[in-house]
Amino acid sequence: MIYATGDTHGQWERFEQEILPLAAEWGPDDTLLILGDFGFVFAPEATAAEAENLRRMAALPFQLAFVDGNHENFPRIRAHPQETWHGGPVHRIGPNLVHLERGGRYEIEGYSFLVMGGAYSIDRPWRTPGVSWWPEELPTDEEYARFRRTAEAAGWQTDFVLTHAAPVSVMRTLGYRSGKEEALNRFLEEMAGRLRFRRWYFGHLHLDRTFEQRFVGLYHQVACLNTDRILYLPDGEMT
């Protein structure tokens, strides 16, 4: 089965039994998708604490794949080996852990996925370049073009879209002004208008909410993509 959740920000407790009890039933054929701000490869240089978290992650019985957000150490992530995973480009971080590249297309369990990471850090003024913030957080023109080429090659059709940021219509519904993220929000809105898709999952906004029945913001909740259901709520209730 395929599952998705929101930003993990390097917090190991997000994978512990008390927070993610469903994972006790998952195996090597199951995949958990993280919608940006993964945060486990973040420090300017590798640390012992980070290495320990990645070691524990490698011992998890299921597969993990993450979209990049804005709070990521992009140079370190992109220094990992590149390979093809489920038909699309990834950086291999660990034996069961990959980074999904911007503009990539993937086929998992017969479902197709289009990916666009990145977002703007509103807390950028309080961060330090090269230490806690990196300019690669927003997509480049080439990455926008790559997504368009990938979507066009797929006939502008996919089962799921995975992003960190949200389309501009979602931002407006929440009363946000896009500001310096607006170019990305507008691009995602354009893609939403052109693509035929089943669900669009995003993180970034730290909320658990569905918009227009097909845009799903995730933070702590876990969605099962096979069934289009939210399976786990932070208070332990099942839908």
pLDDT in tens, 1-56: 999 999 999 999 998 877 787 788 899 999 999 999 999 999 999 899 999 999 99
Q: Tell whether 238 is covered by a domain.
A: no
Say what the pLDDT of residue 23 is: 82
Average pLDDT over residues 103-121: 98
**Average model confidence (pLDDT) for the chain?**
93
Residue 233, helix vs strand vs coil: coil
Provide the 3-class DSSP secondary structure of residue 27.
coil
Nearest alpha-carbon partner for 120 in 47, 197, 203, 182: 182
Asked whether residue 56 is domain-assigned, the answer is yes
Q: Is the pLDDT of residue 70 over 80?
A: yes
- Please give the residue range of the domain that contains residue 228: 2-232
How far is 131 from 115, CA to CA, in rounded Å? 26
- The structural domain count of the chain equals 1
What is the DSSP-derived secondary structure letter of residue 231?
A: E
Q: Are 66 and 80 in contact (CB under 8 A)?
A: no
Q: How confident is the model at residue 233 (pLDDT cuts 50, 70, 90)?
A: low
Please give the average per-residue pLDDT across 133-140, as a whole number: 97
Do residues 124 and 130 touch, judged by C-beta distance below 8 A?
no
* pLDDT, tens digit, 9 for 90 and up, residues 72-90: 999 999 999 999 999 999 9
Which of 235, 210, 208 is CA-nearest to residue 221? 208
Q: Find the CATH number of the domain harbouring 15.
A: 3.60.21
User: What are the tokens at 128?
Assistant: 């330090």
Strands of the 209-211 sheet, one edge to the other: 105-108, 111-116, 160-163, 199-202, 215-217, 209-211
d(CA 149, CA 13): 38
* Residue 102: inside a domain: yes
Q: Write down the pLDDT at residue 140.
A: 98
Asked whether residue 124 is domain-assigned, the answer is yes
Domain-embedded: residue 239 = no
- Whether the Cβ atoms of residue 8 and residue 37 lie closer than 8 Å to each other: yes
pLDDT number for residue 238: 36
Q: What is the DSSP letter of 229?
A: E
Residue 239 has pLDDT above 60, yes or no: no
Residue 82 lies in a domain: yes
Looking at residue 178, its pLDDT comes to 66
Confidence at residue 162, expressed as pLDDT on a 0 to 100 scale? 98
pLDDT tens digit sequence for 175-232: 987 689 999 999 999 999 999 999 999 999 999 999 998 999 999 999 999 998 887 6
CA distance 60 to 70: 25
pLDDT at residue 159 tops 80: yes
pLDDT-derived band at 237, boundaries 50, 70, 90: very low
For 103-128, what is the mean pLDDT? Answer: 97
Residue 66 one-letter amino acid: F
Residue 218: phi, psi to the nearest 5?
-120, 140
- Return d(Cα 54, Cα 49) in angstroms, integer: 9
Two tokens, residue 160? 């799921």
Per-residue pLDDT band for 236 (boundaries 50, 70, 90) equals very low
**Inside any domain, residue 193:** yes
